[in-house]
Amino acid sequence: MALIDPFGRAITYLRLSVTERCNLRCHYCRKPDDFNEREDDQVLSMAELTRLARLFVELGVERIRLTGGEPLLRQGIVEMVAELTALPGLQEVNLSTNALLLERLAEPLKLAGLGRINVSLDTLRQPTFTQICGAGDPARVVAGIDAAIDVGLAPVKCNMVVMGGVNDDEIGDILNFARQRGVTLRFIETMPIGEAGAQSMSRYIPAQEILSRVSTLLGADLIPATEHRGPGPARYFHIAGSHATVGVISAVSQHFCDSCNRVRLTSEGQLALCLGDVGRVDLRAPLRSGAQDESMKQHILQALAQKPLKHPFDQGGSSGNDMVALGG
C-alpha cells in the first residue's frame, strides 16, 4: 500500500495539528469572536494522534510537521516528538510555532529529536504585533528564535505573512533581522482560508511584488535557487553577492498544486485533503470504534481518493474552517 492520490502525486508529508488552542489571536488565522479553545473529548489524545501518525508513516509518509493552533500549548508535545522520531521510515519531525513558549522548550525538543523549527514572525514592533495578534510580545518571539538557534534546531525558518498597510513597511527590518541571525526568511501571501482569511485578502500583496521590494531594498538581484527546493511549497532565491537566501510561498498568485505532496490531520481527527477545500474525512469515528491498523489504513487510502486536483483560491477561496483548525 502507498499513498498515491488520483492524480499520481505521492503523499509523503503530513501536517499534524495537535490543538486548535493558541495564545495569540492573529486576525488572518481565526475570527475575533471565535473562542472555541476547549480540549474536550472531541480532540484526539496524544496517543491517538501518534497512532494515526504511525499509520501514515507505514503508508509512505516521510515527514511530519506538528502544528496547531500553537502546538507548544499541548501537554505531552515533547514526548510525542520523541515517539515520532523513533518511527522507522520517518525522516523528519518538524514543528511550526509562534515561539512564545519556545525559549524554555527549545532544548527539550532538540533532545527529543526535533528537526527544523518554523516561526511565525510578522512583525518586530509591539503596536503592530498587538494589531495582528491581539496579544503577546515580539521580544518573547525573538527570545524563542535565539534559543532555537543556540540549541541547534537548524535550520530555523521565519515566516512573514505580508499584509499591505499593516506590516509591509517592515519587510526590510525583518529581512535584516533574519540575515543577522542566519535564519531563513520566507514571505507568505495572505490566503483566503475560512472567513478570517477571506477578510485578510483586502491586504493581499502578490509574491512578485514582495520579491521586487526585497530586491530594491537589498540593491541586489534575486536568483532562483533550485537546489533549495524542499518538500514544502516555498520557492527560494539567492541574494546576488551573498550566501543568503529568501523564500516565498505564493499559494494565490503562483500555486503549487501540481506538486502537492501533503495532507493535513486536525486535532479532532479530521483529514483535510487540501488547504483550500472544505471537504473532510472523519478518521476519529473508526479509530474510536475499535478499527484495527489495517482497517484504518484502508480508511486513509479511501479518503485519499477524494483529494482534489487544486485549491479554489482563484474562485474566492475556502468557506470552511479557519486556518487555526488546519495548521497552515
Dist CA 313 CA 189 (whole Å): 12
Q: What are phi and psi of 169, to 5 degrees?
A: -80, 0
Does residue 177 sit within a domain?
yes
- Specify the pLDDT at position 311: 66
Does residue 9 sit within a domain?
no
Domain span including residue 165: 19-325
- Specify the pLDDT at position 318: 54
Does residue 11 sit within a domain?
no
Cell numbers for 38:
476547549
Asked if 308 contacts 273 with a C-beta cutoff of 8 angstroms, the reply is: yes
229 a known binding residue? no
Dist CA 137 CA 127 (whole Å): 10
Q: Indicate the number of domains in the chain.
A: 1
Dist CA 122 CA 175 (whole Å): 11
Does residue 69 sit within a domain?
yes
197 a known binding residue? no
List the chain pLDDT tens, one digit each, 328 residues. 789 999 999 999 999 999 999 999 888 887 666 655 556 889 999 999 999 999 999 999 999 999 999 999 999 999 999 999 999 999 999 999 999 999 999 999 999 999 999 999 999 999 999 999 999 999 999 999 999 999 999 889 999 999 999 999 999 999 999 999 999 999 998 876 666 666 677 888 999 999 999 999 999 899 998 765 555 678 899 888 888 889 998 877 666 677 789 999 999 999 999 877 667 899 999 999 999 999 999 999 999 999 888 766 655 555 456 666 676 5
250 a known binding residue? no
120 a known binding residue? yes
- Specify the pLDDT at position 319: 47
116 a known binding residue? no
Full-model pTM: 0.92
- Specify the pLDDT at position 39: 64
Asked if 32 contacts 82 with a C-beta cutoff of 8 angstroms, the reply is: no
| DSSP-assigned letters across all residues of 1-25 | ---B-TTS-B--EEEEE--S--S--
- Specify the pLDDT at position 315: 52
Does residue 27 sit within a domain?
yes
Does residue 93 sit within a domain?
yes
157 a known binding residue? yes
257 a known binding residue? yes
Does residue 102 sit within a domain?
yes
Ramachandran class of 172: left when φ > 0, alpha when ψ lies in -120 to 50, beta otherwise: alpha
Does residue 7 sit within a domain?
no
Question: Which residues have C-beta within 8 Å of that of residue 132, sequence separation ≥ 6?
Answer: 26, 27, 28, 122, 123, 163, 166, 167
Q: How many CA atoms are closer than 13 Å to the CA of 137, on its beta-carbon side? A: 6
158 a known binding residue? no
Kindly state the helix (H) or strand (E) to which residue 238 belongs, with its residue range. Answer: strand 235-239
- Specify the pLDDT at position 99: 98
22 a known binding residue? yes
Length of the chain: 328
Grid look-up 488565522 returns 29
CATH label of the domain that carries residue 180: 3.20.20.70
